[in-house]
Amino acid sequence: MGFGRMHRKEDVRFVRGHGNYVDDVTLPGMLHGAVLRSPYAHAKILSIDTSAAEAHPKVRAVITGEALAGLNLAWMPTLSNDVQAVLATDKVRFQGQEVAFVVAEDRYSARDALELIDVDYEPLAPVVDARKALDPDAPVIRDDVEGRTDNHIFDWETGDKARTDEVFANAEVVATQDMLYPRVHPAPLETCGSVADMDPITGKLTIWTTTQAPHAHRTLYALVAGLPEHKIRVISPDIGGGFGNKVGIYPGYVCSVVGSILTGKPVKWVEDRSENLMSTSFARDYHMHGEIASTKDGKIQAIRVKVLADHGAFNGTAQPTKYPAGFFGVFTGSYDIEAAHAEVTGVYTNKAPGGVAYACSFRITEAVYLVERMVDVLAYDLDMDPAELRMKNLLKPDQFPYQSKTGWEYDSGDYPRTLRMALDLVHYDELRAEQAKRRDAGELMGIGVAFFTEAVGAGPRKHMDILGLGMADGAELRVHPTGKAVLRLSVQTQGQGHETTFAQIVAEELGISPDDIDVVHGDTDQTPFGLGTYGSRSTPVSGAATAVVARKVRERAKIVASAMLEVSPDDLEWEKGRWFVKGDPAAGKSIQDIAMAAHSGLELPEGVEGHLDATCVYNPPNLTYPFGAYICVVDVDAETGQVKVRDFVAVDDCGVRINPMIVEGQVHGGLADGLGMALMQVMAFDEDGNHLGGSFMDYLLPTSMECPSWRLGETVTPSPHHPIGAKGVGESATVGSPAAVVNAVLDALKPRGVRHADMPLTPAAVWCAAQGHPFRTDLAIT
């Protein structure tokens, strides 16, 4: 009972095919929607002729941007206070953009009808290369905004510029490197979709939808569509993976709602894979210029970064309002340095919106990749061992809580212990000896080290909100008369096992078996308000709320028990599952007995209402800062450029582990993501803005063949401010592993004089780098 390895409750339905995903939802009279998309990256819309589609015998409605404009819905607000076209009216701004929406009796007819819509486009020059977006002669993408004359979105900076410049000016060694974290996509196996059902009689709108943040969606629908919030019910059923892809609101969702309002019938919209890759939230796309200053013997002193962020045609990035570059500010990583400064500039390009997704923890993937590459670049220049260089510069345990030079307060950590464990697990010294021998034989073997610090659990409402909604999260716990319980959460699992682990938290606090606790999530009519699951924030925020409600219930139970036992509450002591009289352990009442009594005619002290329930909105005092040491070992075929990951060791420290089995599964999945990004995944574009990664034929995901058997280790450094000492962990592996893989490949290529090459390190990219001709991976033509 409580914390520890426990099989998942949710498996029962999933292994039998009895999950309930959005596309499984069928309602009486349900119609099917399909989206017509732009073939151009940038083009004026001269006319749209929908007459032939409307004449199709199975078509019930064809919706265009013009029709939406009449409802004031042609544009919708994004999570970054920009607007995004729901259906294009004036022009299209990326290939795959939504232009029209067909509602038909079945999904095949809806697709047929798309072919019958005639759109007359006048192609415009696109902005494809982010580095040219701010050129004076660059085409202006967002001419929908009056007076806008360029593609600039924002400038943001952090750290102490003057101090950083001073340290750099006096440094013995300065290493500089440009690097691209290419545009990738979270590609959850289930795409995005929704079933909207507007009941014309009651005026209530129910939306089954793939959302990681059902409550935030409900509020946004209310604000955007002008519907009263109590008349909107958002249901996020089982979700086939999210990975940040399912945080925002997509045009297809809005169109299904409008389609239901217009037809009076439920309307289902489910995108296909190409639509998912081409139009929903991408991740990364940071062009980074990094500089690192150190002494000759490898004491790191300062880091300076300039970033050009490609946000696509609409700034739809999902992040707390005051953080336009997310939490990139943690780019100083795990190191004790004197000064740091970063500048980020966001630009529009003719690509799909997004940016924050794919287990990035609000841009920490980029921050960690930057610092971990820069440390390796410095090691290359100093000809130092990269593990030794890290060990020399890691923060020490007695420095926590540590105030970083960019204003983040790391809660706890024992970094050297964790790095040592990883080095021991991988047999680092023996590997280096083997590598030396193999280098002498002309073979390319690489060992890559990465040490990361995450920052997850957004967050303190004073600093963090999304569109004005503070990032606190809720939990409600009710213990039934028979001692079984239901826990209602504002966060929303997409496979992370909340139905099991949150029951374990209650079990640990109350001594009720996790099997007797039902965890309810995803239905805004049934659950407390909160901002949902992303940024590894579930355990830090709702996990904390869950422990707090359980403790509130425990205190109520104490009063009930005191009435039952006719003693003062002060005379009672708790052991898991029961209150008993101090000094008389036999005189006690189990939580189950207390639950029944709480619902009975038992006389309770004045002011105690009876029953056994509690609610909590948890406003976290700080983020949690999990960390880890990852080491990757690769063999590179010098003739073909093929990289084989031979071994991967990952030691994660996320504080107290509620369920180690589930933590390990999270880490395995994240490591596969990181390997995929490092070696295979990219969404590239040609000079016309054609998307070259729009299907699984081109956008390559790792299979069972590319992934090695991951080897994990763990250390436990609890978060001091968290009620159960637990930190988030879901995104750690995705954050930490790309740098380990890339560092390994570049370590293998060191004898060829290769200092850096950009992800993905495909055979072609590695082969070119080894020949001394690295190329840009994000553009087909450079």
Partner 1 sequence: MRITVTVDGTEYSDEVEPRTLLVHYLRETLGKVGTVIGCDTSNCGACTVHLNGHSVKSCSMLAVQADGCEITTIEGLARDGQLHPVQQAFHDNHALQCGFCTPGMIMQSIDLLADNPNPDEKAVREGLEGNLCRCTGYQNIVRAVRDAADHMRPGAGPEAERMSEDVRAPSAIGGE
Residue at 370: amino acid letter: L
Per CB under 8 A, the segment of 77-85, 214-222, 271-279, 744-752 that binds partner 1 is 271-279
Per CB under 8 A, the segment of 10-18, 222-230, 285-293, 540-548 that binds partner 1 is 10-18
CB of 655 to partner 1, least distance (A): 19
Residue 731 DSSP SS3:
coil
CA angle at residue 345 from 344 to 350, to 5 degrees?
135
CA distances from 747 to 175, 372, 380, 753 (A): 17, 13, 9, 10
Q: Quick check: 238 and 25 in contact, CB under 8 A?
A: no
Q: Which of residues 227-246 bind partner 1 (CB under 8 A)?
A: 238-243
Written as six digits, the tokens of 543 are 């996990």
CB of 434 to partner 1, least distance (A): 22
Q: Which residue among 125, 170, 396, 696 contacts partner 1 (CB under 8 A)?
A: 696
* Nearest CB to partner 1, comparing residues 696 and 775: 696
Q: How far apart are CA 243 and CA 668, in angstroms?
A: 14
Per CB under 8 A, the segment of 199-207, 414-422, 624-632, 700-708 that binds partner 1 is 700-708
Q: How far apart are CA 481 and CA 347, in angstroms?
A: 58
Edge-to-edge strand list for the sheet holding 473-479: 517-520, 485-489, 473-479, 612-618
CB of 662 to partner 1, least distance (A): 7
Residue of 374, 354, 362, 361 whose CA lies nearest to 183: 354
Written as six digits, the tokens of 360 are 């990035």
Written as six digits, the tokens of 334 are 């795990």
Give the helix ranges, DSSP H, for 517-636: 544-565, 591-598
Q: Using only the alpha carbons of the chain, give its radius of gyration.
A: 27
Report phi then psi at 745, rounded to 5. -65, -40
Q: Quick check: 149 and 348 in contact, CB under 8 A?
A: no
Q: Which residue among 2, 6, 255, 746 contacts partner 1 (CB under 8 A)?
A: 6
Q: Within 13 Å and on the Cβ side, how many CA atoms surround 134? A: 11
Give the helix ranges, DSSP H, for 566-658: 591-598
- The reply to whether 705 sits near partner 1 by the rule CB under 8 A is yes
Q: How far apart are CA 272 and CA 116, in angstroms?
A: 19
* Nearest CB to partner 1, comparing residues 192 and 305: 192
* Nearest CB to partner 1, comparing residues 16 and 296: 16
Per CB under 8 A, the segment of 131-139, 413-421, 636-644, 707-715 that binds partner 1 is 707-715
Written as six digits, the tokens of 221 are 């629908």
Number of residues counted as binding partner 1 (CB under 8 A) = 62
- Convert residues 488-527 into a mask of x (bound to partner 1 by CB under 8 A) and - (unbound): ------xxxx------------------------------
Q: Which residue among 2, 182, 188, 470 contacts partner 1 (CB under 8 A)?
A: 188
- The reply to whether 486 sits near partner 1 by the rule CB under 8 A is no
* Nearest CB to partner 1, comparing residues 470 and 674: 674
Q: How far apart are CA 271 and CA 78, in angstroms?
A: 20
Residue at 87: amino acid letter: L
* Nearest CB to partner 1, comparing residues 472 and 675: 675
- The reply to whether 5 sits near partner 1 by the rule CB under 8 A is yes
Q: Which of residues 657-686 bind partner 1 (CB under 8 A)?
A: 660-662, 664-673
Written as six digits, the tokens of 442 are 């002309």
- The reply to whether 176 sits near partner 1 by the rule CB under 8 A is no
Per CB under 8 A, the segment of 328-336, 551-559, 603-611, 691-699 that binds partner 1 is 691-699
Q: Which of residues 25-84 bind partner 1 (CB under 8 A)?
A: 26
* Nearest CB to partner 1, comparing residues 107 and 463: 107
CB of 721 to partner 1, least distance (A): 28
Helix H or strand E encompassing 741: helix 732-748
CB of 493 to partner 1, least distance (A): 8
Q: Which residue among 3, 262, 274, 779 contacts partner 1 (CB under 8 A)?
A: 274
Strand partners, 205: 198, 232
Report phi then psi at 622, rounded to 5. -160, 170
Sign of CA dihedral 660, 664, 667, 669: negative
* Nearest CB to partner 1, comparing residues 298 and 702: 702
CA distances from 95 to 121, 356, 360, 397, 469 (A): 12, 20, 25, 50, 32
* Nearest CB to partner 1, comparing residues 8 and 392: 8
* Nearest CB to partner 1, comparing residues 358 and 369: 358
- The reply to whether 704 sits near partner 1 by the rule CB under 8 A is yes
Q: Which of residues 710-769 bind partner 1 (CB under 8 A)?
A: 710
- Convert residues 92-111 into a mask of x (bound to partner 1 by CB under 8 A) and - (unbound): --------------xxx---
Q: Which of residues 353-372 bind partner 1 (CB under 8 A)?
A: none
Q: How far apart are CA 114 and CA 50, in angstroms?
A: 9
- Convert residues 189-228 into a mask of x (bound to partner 1 by CB under 8 A) and - (unbound): xxx-------------------------------------
Per CB under 8 A, the segment of 113-121, 455-463, 536-544, 693-701 that binds partner 1 is 693-701
CB of 656 to partner 1, least distance (A): 17
- The reply to whether 115 sits near partner 1 by the rule CB under 8 A is no
- What does the longest C-alpha to C-alpha distance in the chain come to? 86
* Nearest CB to partner 1, comparing residues 464 and 733: 733
Q: Which of residues 609-668 bind partner 1 (CB under 8 A)?
A: 660-662, 664-668
Residue 646 DSSP SS3:
strand
* Nearest CB to partner 1, comparing residues 275 and 509: 275
CB of 690 to partner 1, least distance (A): 17
Q: How far apart are CA 539 and CA 729, in angstroms?
A: 8
CB of 17 to partner 1, least distance (A): 2
Polymer length of the chain: 782
Residue of 446, 358, 401 whose CA lies nearest to 746: 446
Q: Name residues whose C-beta falls within 8 Å of residue 415's C-beta, 6 or more positions apart in sequence.
A: 334, 394, 395, 396, 397, 451, 453, 627, 629
- Convert residues 431-470 into a mask of x (bound to partner 1 by CB under 8 A) and - (unbound): ----------------------------------------
- The reply to whether 1 sits near partner 1 by the rule CB under 8 A is no
Report phi then psi at 38, rounded to 5. -70, 135
Residue ranges that bind partner 1, judged by CB under 8 A:
5-8, 10-19, 21, 23-24, 26, 106-108, 187-191, 238-243, 272-274, 494-497, 660-662, 664-673, 695-697, 701, 703-705, 707, 709-710
